[in-house]
Amino acid sequence: MEYDLHCHTKYSFDCRMEPRRVVEIARRRGLRGLAITDHDTVAGAMDALQYQDENFLIIPGFEKTTEAGDILGLFMTEAPDPKLKDPFAVVEFIHTRGGLAIMPHPFAYRVTIGKELVKCLDGIEGFNARYPRTQVPGIAFGTDEIVEFARANNLRVTCSSDSHDYGAIARARTVIPAEIPEEIKEAIRRGNTVMAPPPPSAVDRIASKIGEAAKRLLGPSEPPPTLWEGGPRLGDDDEPRPEGG
């Protein structure tokens, strides 16, 4: 069963899509369900719920802006106060209501995630179709690095389109062997999911070749990126790993 776990509608400030059409298209593209995660509100998800039926599941949620970057709340029917920016308070809000806290597009805007926050999150997006390679100037984190980071920190990975336009819906999917919300949640918690990103574009393939060639010529970038404050550097296996990692 394939799900797109991050999608927007017109209830987001930066999106004009109608929930009804979003669901129609997601169905047509073979998804079993869709998480509607509008910025700072569950209104889009609540609207989309009326188009759910036995063949198609809406996972309600939101994408909350915090001081530590965005946090997705999945399986949520209410959103925190828009003024709440403390990432720990947002994660607590999600967990006390039985939802999952996932960090979308990690490293897209910043180089680190606080170590304490990493311990609280359920997962991070291993692939986000809007940010196939991240945007931090001078540093290119790809899926491999993010998945390695997730593994080292006992985080689950999801894969999603983050679609803001109809063309992007279902572009990246998470395969989950479950159809009922509680079972889907449990599968994600256990890491019983498979990422299904789109094949890399021609531009991505060329960028990756250039990156490989530069690495051969110049050696690894210096200094190597630290993925969380005070944490081990990528590929450094000598550092102790967090509990359960």
Question: What is the closest distance, in whole angstroms, from the C-beta atom of residue 131 to Zn ion in the complex?
Answer: 10
How many residues belong to the site for Zn ion (CB under 5 A)? Answer: 2
Cβ proximity to Zn ion, 8 vs 156, nearer residue: 8
Which helix (H) or strand (E) is 217 found in, with range?
helix 202-218
Going by DSSP bridges, is the β-strand pair 69-74/57-66 parallel, antiparallel, or unpaired? antiparallel
Per-residue mark of binding to Zn ion, 144-173 (x: CB under 5 A): ------------------x-----------
The residue among 112 and 128 lying less far from Zn ion, judged by its C-beta, is: 128
Q: Which residues contact 233 (CB under 8 A, 6 or more apart)?
A: 223, 224, 225, 226, 227, 239
How many angstroms separate the CA atoms of 175 and 108, rounded? Answer: 23
40 binds Zn ion (CB under 5 A): no
Nearer to Zn ion, 12 or 193 (CB): 12
Q: How far is the CB of 212 from Zn ion (least distance, A)?
A: 30
Task: Name which of residues 47 to 66 contact Zn ion (CB under 5 A).
Answer: 63
C-alpha triplet 19, 1, 7: angle, nearest 5°: 30
Least Å distance between CB 104 and Zn ion? 6
In contact, 51 and 23? CB cutoff 8 Å: yes
Residues making contact with Zn ion (CB under 5 A): 63, 162
